[in-house]
Structure 1
């Protein structure tokens, strides 16, 4: 995905990650790329990637496990949230 640098970047990145979750690129229970990897992919600073990841987590699509990474919630986990 190409980022439109004339608009805020973190919402575009959050939308791309959300789309990947919805289309199965990142299936339920899978670990998604780290903030550093996302930042490198989209050519942004880590704080922009972190903000995008936080937005996806706020949507109830992922969970972060300290020291382990960020994982896509399963349907069961989403229901219990």
Structure 2
């Protein structure tokens, strides 16, 4: 079941918060691949560009790393914040 998103707040920020929460709770452990932008968009019923923006933000903040042609992965030591 997909989590409810607050349509009054920036959607990409909520998606980023959700991914961080899943990293913290062990759903996405360090080193594992996170769902693609399309998979997240489908799960959350949002535009793919929204999930793409969230994942890009998490890469710049040091939570995720991208591997060209392979996917996006949780870094080995995610930030503690």
Alignment of 1:1-81 (within 5 A): 1-75=3-77
Over 6 Å off, 4+ runs:
none
Extract unaligned runs of 5+ from structure 1: none
- Deviation track 1:37-56 (CA, whole Å, cap 9, x = no partner) reads 01111111111110011111
Q: Distance in 1 between matches of 2:57 and 2:25?
A: 18
Q: Distance in 2 between matches of 1:18 and 1:54?
A: 13
TM superposition score normalised by structure 2: 0.88
Q: Distance in 2 between matches of 1:67 and 1:60?
A: 20
RMSD: 1.4
Extract unaligned runs of 5+ from structure 2: none
- Aligned pair count? 77
Shift of 1:19: 0.8
**Normalized per residue, which structure has more helix?**
1
